[in-house]
């Protein structure tokens, strides 16, 4: 039986002090350890770097490294720096708010044991939304439906994806640099993979958690984000109407999910306020209030 492929995890980060700690802790807590975990900082001005440095100090034997990409501001060059530096046979790429399921690396190794697979992606669970179990099933169903509609174009999802190192080395000089920050870099990468005949797999067991913080954008910002699909397709001269399926889906679900997100945020704020008041209340007074 061939050995399982080694898996690097690349995490681009810019001002992610609130989420990067949980992200890295989850990457460290895998049932099948990652070959390496590379956090690539891109000119952060908050506590992102100190958080990672403290994690490195707390886990001196872990394959956790902090890299710096200070030449230019942007996700694409920061992602590329991490993928170029990675030494694993498979390169996982997640966001700084991703929280991997404990078996994520093991699932990636299982998927890439098939030599035909050059890239893979899977569903997500929105850990800061209500009805998380239902949300996970719905996300999986929607992504499967989009794959069916899009037919031979199979898209990666940047918060939860992996690709073979050999495929990256083939693509690294041709992927769009997106200096104006107008595209979906994961969709661009997917298109380049498809154009060169690489197989992109989808696996429901390759699960990552992620934040629903995109829903905190106002409607104009959110729909500008959705429109990145159209700009990415335009850069590749793709006019297939089937490829607009993700735009339709994400636009249609926004009002409902935005309402759920707002209720959840307010509920969490109220819970924290109540907890802080309770902590500062003498026990006797606390009991009288409960009555």
Integer Cα distance of 19 and 51 in angstroms: 10
| Of 286 and 14, more confident | 14
Task: Flag whether 276 is in a domain.
Answer: no
| Contact assessment for residue 83 and residue 161, using Cβ atoms and an 8 Å cutoff | no
Counted domains in the chain: 1
Task: Flag whether 173 is in a domain.
Answer: yes
User: Where does the pLDDT of residue 287 fall: very low under 50, low under 70, confident under 90, or very high at 90 and above?
Assistant: very low
Arithmetic mean of pLDDT, 257-269? 89
Task: Flag whether 63 is in a domain.
Answer: yes
pLDDT tens-place string over residues 195-243: 999 999 999 999 999 999 999 999 999 999 999 999 999 999 999 999 9
Burial letters for 43-54: b for 16+ Cβ neighbours within 10 Å, e otherwise? ebeebbbebbee
User: Where does the pLDDT of residue 263 fall: very low under 50, low under 70, confident under 90, or very high at 90 and above?
Assistant: confident
Average pLDDT, the chain: 93
- Identify the H or E element spanning 171: helix 165-171
User: Where does the pLDDT of residue 280 fall: very low under 50, low under 70, confident under 90, or very high at 90 and above?
Assistant: low
Distance of CA 185 to the CA centre of its chain: 12
**φ/ψ of residue 50, rounded to 5:** -60, -35
| Of 263 and 74, more confident | 74
CA angle 217, 70, 185 (to 5 degrees): 45
Beta strands of 42-137 (E only): which ranges? 64-68, 90-93, 99-100, 117-121, 124-126
Task: Flag whether 119 is in a domain.
Answer: yes
User: What integer pLDDT is reported at residue 275 of this predicted model?
Assistant: 82
**φ/ψ of residue 44, rounded to 5:** -65, 140
Arithmetic mean of pLDDT, 37-63? 98
Other beta carbons within 10 Å of 127: 17
**φ/ψ of residue 209, rounded to 5:** -85, 155
Task: Flag whether 223 is in a domain.
Answer: no
| DSSP state, residue 234 | H
Residue 72: which domain range?
7-215
Task: Flag whether 230 is in a domain.
Answer: no
Task: Flag whether 77 is in a domain.
Answer: yes
User: Where does the pLDDT of residue 68 fall: very low under 50, low under 70, confident under 90, or very high at 90 and above?
Assistant: very high
| Contact assessment for residue 178 and residue 74, using Cβ atoms and an 8 Å cutoff | yes
Arithmetic mean of pLDDT, 9-25? 98
User: What integer pLDDT is reported at residue 190 of this predicted model?
Assistant: 97
User: What integer pLDDT is reported at residue 30 of this predicted model?
Assistant: 98
Cβ-based burial of 170 (10 A; exposed 0-12, middle 13-18, buried ≥19): middle
Other beta carbons within 10 Å of 160: 27
- Residue 281 scores a pLDDT above 70: no
Say how many Å lie between the first and final Cα of the chain, rounded: 66
Task: Flag whether 84 is in a domain.
Answer: yes
- CATH number of the domain within which 124 lies: 3.90.550.10
pLDDT tens-place string over residues 137-163: 999 998 998 888 888 789 999 999 999
Q: Partners of 210 in the beta sheet?
A: 126
């Amino acid at each position: 039986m061939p050995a399982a492929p080694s898996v690097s995890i690349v995490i681009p980060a810019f001002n992610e002090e609130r989420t990067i700690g949980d992200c890295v802790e989850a990457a460290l807590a895998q049932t099948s350890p990652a070959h390496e975990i590379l956090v690539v900082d891109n000119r952060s001005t908050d506590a992102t770097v100190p958080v990672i440095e403290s994690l490195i100090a707390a886990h001196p034997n872990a394959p956790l490294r902090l890299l710096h990409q200070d030449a230019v501001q942007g996700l694409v060059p920061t992602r590329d720096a991490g993928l170029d530096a990675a030494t694993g046979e498979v390169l996982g790429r997640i966001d700084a708010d991703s929280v991997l399921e404990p078996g994520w690396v093991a699932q990636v190794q299982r998927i890439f044991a098939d030599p035909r697979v050059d890239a893979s992606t899977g569903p997500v669970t929105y850990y800061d939304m209500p009805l998380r179990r239902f949300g996970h099933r719905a996300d999986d169903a929607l992504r499967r439906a989009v794959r069916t509609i899009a037919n031979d174009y199979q898209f990666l999802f940047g918060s939860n994806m992996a690709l073979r190192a050999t495929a990256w080395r083939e693509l690294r000089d041709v992927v769009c640099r997106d200096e104006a920050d107008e595209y979906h870099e994961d969709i661009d990468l997917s298109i380049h993979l498809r154009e060169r005949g690489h197989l992109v797999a989808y696996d429901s067991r390759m699960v990552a958690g992620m934040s629903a913080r995109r829903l905190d954008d106002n409607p104009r910002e959110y729909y500008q984000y959705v429109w990145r699909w159209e700009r990415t397709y335009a850069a590749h001269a793709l006019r297939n109407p089937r490829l607009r399926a993700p735009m339709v889906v994400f636009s249609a679900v926004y009002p409902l999910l935005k309402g759920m997100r707002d209720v959840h945020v307010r509920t969490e704020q109220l819970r924290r306020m109540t907890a802080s008041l309770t902590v500062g209340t003498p026990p006797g007074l606390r009991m009288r209030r409960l009555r």
